[in-house]
Amino acid sequence: MPSFVENWLKSAALEVQEYVRLVVAAMRGVVSRPIYRHDIIEQLDVIGSGSLTVVLLTGLFTGMAITAQSGLTLDQFGARAVVGRLVGASMIKELGPVLTALMLTGRIGSGIAAELGSMMVTDQINALRALGTDPIRKLVVPRMIAGFLMTPVLTVISDFVGITGGWIVSRFQLQVNTGLYWSSVRDGLYLQDVYGMGLVKPFVFGFIIVTVACHVGMRTSGGTAGVGKATTVAVVASSVLVIAADFFLNQILLTLLY
């Protein structure tokens, strides 16, 4: 009889195969007709505007926390004046993209998995097929495009708000001059930090979050209990993949850009 490990490996290989098939079909749907423009605009609003509040709060308090903690450490070396350099580099290169992606995983990934999972268990997706509509084009492609485009926008907002939160703490708690803080932020950043680490990562993270959530949602079975399980799997899998992708992207970008 096959062992537990063999069964797990076969199941994992099947999931990867189905995920790749979904991604290929969605890519094909992006560049061919029909294109559901109304659905794309709706998802841009849901993912972009709907996630703005949580992204703003996450960026603000992350920047404030980094500044408060790093200020104590920099004081030991008499380097409190360069706190802006540390906050700017941390937010733009690492914390901004990753934390924004994790927030979107919890808010957007879970919602997509639950929505598509509910449609699966209630046979709404089969009804779409019966009406001659491709569920991939109708349901997956608009979400994939919206996630791919809006994640970088939300990341830029998170970066700016985080650096501004760092300024608030540095000015009123650490007593660092405003001009000194912002000049330190500017001096600590290079062009490749902004367009490389700061913008390449969010595109990849947005793609991962939405495609994994769509894959898990489209594979849901087992009624309402299955929907709950699919939501949990989507959030956990996306979060792990975002963190793993962050490590590998760091290695690739450091090799290419520095």
Q: What is the pTM of this model?
A: 0.91
Mean pLDDT for 9-26 is 89
Write the pLDDT tens digit of every residue in 32-68: 888 888 999 999 999 988 899 999 999 999 999 999 8
Tell me what pLDDT residue 159 has.
92
What mean pLDDT is reported for the chain?
Answer: 89
Tell me what pLDDT residue 2 has.
60
**Residue 198 backbone dihedrals phi, psi, to 5 degrees:** -80, -25
Write the pLDDT tens digit of every residue in 153-206: 999 999 999 999 999 999 888 888 888 899 988 887 877 778 777 889 999 999
46-49 long-range CB contacts below 8 Å, 24 or more apart?
A: 46/108, 46/146, 47/104, 47/108, 47/143, 47/146, 47/147, 47/150, 47/151, 48/146, 48/150, 48/153, 48/154
Q: Which residues does 53 contact at the CB level (< 8 Å), separation at least 6? A: none
